[in-house]
Amino acid sequence: MDSNKQLDPTAELAAATRALRMEIGRRKRWGAKRTAAAIAEEAVSPELIPQPQPKAPAAPEQAPPAPIAPRIPPKAAPPLLKEQLQTSLPSTPKSLPCSDLGDLRKRVSTCSRCSLGASPGRSGAIVGRGAPRPRLLYISDHIGPAEHTRQKPLDELAGTLLGKITTGGMGLKVEETHVTSAVKCALPPGCVPSPSETASCKVWLEEEIRLLAPSAIVTLGAGAAHALFGNDAPGGKLKGRLLHYKGTPAVATFHPRDLVARPDLKASAWADLQLLLPSLKS
């Protein structure tokens, strides 16, 4: 057959119909129970039949997200109670009470209740100087390098002025007075004691007052007043009125170093000291 000759579509269809009829007859003779549609489907090449694509497995259902709990702001720490503040300080030494002033000096010299006493560079402690049973007890605020050099609670200028006030204004002899400091350890130049250092040293100050049993007390400077009477009252509320410490009359006034620097304060200091004169005369 000529390869260039075009095939007649009608003849081609007739030939395919005859072949299909012959196949149907043959299947009938073999007892096949298949339909003509199924046989026709087999006659077509399987590559030409679009195959059904397998379905992608369904994604597993995700559990719903857990509800987000509302953010609760942290509670503020309650303020420390007065009892809790007291427990943060060193406990009272078991060796108290002291037998005398000598025993007190010995115990203070080995004290390490605060950072001043526990410091490797500690320069020593000063308890006080004066009469063992004074009519008047002066309490300074703290000890600096000048006081430590003299081994006295006051430097030379402040001590000289306080002596003149005692003899000229109060009518007392210097030998009838005693001068001590609220904080016993010497501080570096230009430093003042912290509240915790003052509070740690108060146990020694109270023991010193008990042993001295003075007739009257004068605190010199706001630091000394707060050390003896507490930090709750500002110095302005303590100054200018008669106070009492465990039954002993007391006043709060300026430190002599302030009077040396500002002589105009002397009149106010003298008014404070006059409040004690009736107690000293009785």
Per-residue pLDDT band at 72 (split at 50, 70, 90): very low
Grade residue 122 by pLDDT with cuts at 50, 70 and 90.
low
Residue 121 placed within a domain: yes
In a domain, 175, yes or no: yes
| pLDDT (0 to 100) of residue 44 | 44
> C-alpha distances in angstroms, 20 versus 28, 46, 146, 152?
12, 18, 132, 136
Asked whether 254 and 221 are in contact (CB, 8 A), the reply is: yes
Instruction: Give the domain range for residue 152.
Output: 96-281
Calculate mean pLDDT across residues 166-176.
Answer: 92
Residue 95 or residue 102, greater confidence: 102
State the average pLDDT over residues 197-215.
Answer: 94
Let me know if residue 219 belongs to a domain.
Answer: yes
Mean pLDDT of the chain: 77
Query: pLDDT class for 87, splitting at 50, 70, 90?
Result: very low
- Round to whole Å and give the CA distance between 25 and 95: 129
Lowest pLDDT segment from 92-101, 161-170, 186-195, 251-260: 92-101
Secondary structure (DSSP) of 43-76: HS-GGGSPPPPPPPPPPPPPPPPPPPPPPPPPPP
How many domains, the chain? 1
Q: What is the DSSP string of 175-228?
A: GGEEEEESS-BBPPTT----HHHHHHHHHHHHHHHHHH--SEEEEESHHHHHHH
Structure confidence at residue 121 (pLDDT): 57
**Looking at residue 269, what is its pLDDT?**
95
Across 42-51, 113-122, 155-164, 267-276, which has the greatest mean pLDDT? Answer: 267-276
Peptide bond into 57 cis (omega under 30): no
Q: Quick check: is 90 in a domain?
A: no
Phi first, then psi, for residue 46 (nearest 5°) are: -65, -25
Per the domain annotation, does 124 fall within a domain?
Answer: yes
CATH of residue 209's domain is: 3.40.470.10
d(CA 141, CA 82): 24
Q: How confident is the model at residue 190 (pLDDT cuts 50, 70, 90)?
A: confident
173 in a structural domain: yes
Percent of the chain scoring above 70 in pLDDT: 67
- Residue 49 inside a domain? The answer is no
Confidence band, pLDDT 50/70/90 cuts, at residue 188: confident
How do residues 248-273 score in pLDDT, each as one tens digit?
999 999 999 999 999 999 999 999 99
Pairing of strands 177-181, 128-130: antiparallel
Asked, for residue 20, whether it belongs to a domain, the answer is: no
Longest C-alpha distance within the chain, in Å?
159
pLDDT at residue 215 tops 70: yes
**What is the reported pLDDT for 48?**
39
